[in-house]
Amino acid sequence: MIRTIILDDEKIIRKGIQKIIRENLPELEVTASLQNGRECLEYLEISGADLIISDIRMPYVDGLELLKTLRNRGQQTDVFLISGFDDFDYCRTALKYGAQDYLLKPIDKNDFIRSLRAYIDRCDENRAGNRVDVKLNEDDRRTIREIKKYLRNHFSQDITLKELSDKFYMNPSYISQLFKKETGVTITEYLIRIKMEMAGIMLKDPAVRISDVSAQVGYKNPKQFASMFKKVMGLTPSQYRDHFE
């Protein structure tokens, strides 16, 4: 079970999210329903959580400030942010601090379920990867985790195998083979998937041009970006955006 905290200053929204989870996402266990980020930080001091679903605008400590505080403390609890404000700066800041997704109010039930289902699938994939981890020695496991973290934190850049080799002090051929063995995909495939997932989040904001999304994920040529996005996500950027409008 994925221990989940729901965070919103409106009780009716908290109850609505709980109902959706209870009826559609049995893998999630709602362990707390709280009104603001300050309550959440106090709760986390005595109890753990795997996932936080949080509104952005709340009194005392808002969703973005909560996310920043968690990361500054070194806590890697996953966070989904919900906002009634269609603001690209909010979205960009959320992604910078590692938010899993950025959803707009009013919440579309199907989109909400789809986003959380994708998150659950990623969790299952990570657990499968962890089972493979036991076959690797401790140093290699730590290195692979750090590489994946580095790729997620620098997804907008053109990261080369030589750059990773120099940074993690490993032979390029070995680091490539080790990554493929642990994750089931190449470093390039993993990085492209991250770029397209981040692009998908940004495309939900209709105010942001597709060319700007392309640049944000490291593609100078929007046509090349569109082609790769369709290959990975199954839809063109425009089709994907229309789907969420």
Residue 135 has pLDDT above 70, yes or no: no
The pLDDT-based confidence of 245 (bands split at 50, 70, 90) is: low
Residue 110, domain extent: 2-124
Residue 133 has pLDDT above 70, yes or no: no
In terms of domains, do 208 and 176 share one? yes
Segment 159-171 mean pLDDT = 89
Helix pair angle (161-168, 138-153), 10° resolution: 130
Domain boundary among 124, 156, 172: 124
* Any domain includes 104: yes
Residue 122 has pLDDT above 90, yes or no: no
The pLDDT-based confidence of 15 (bands split at 50, 70, 90) is: very high
In terms of domains, do 74 and 19 share one? yes
In terms of domains, do 64 and 42 share one? yes
Residue 51 is predicted with a pLDDT of 93
| Threshold 0.85, pTM exceeds | no
What is the CATH number for 37?
Answer: 3.40.50.2300
Residue 87 is predicted with a pLDDT of 59
- Cβ–Cβ contacts within 10 Å for residue 63, how many? 28
* Any domain includes 37: yes
- Cβ-contact 49, 31 below 8 angstroms: yes
In terms of domains, do 110 and 140 share one? no
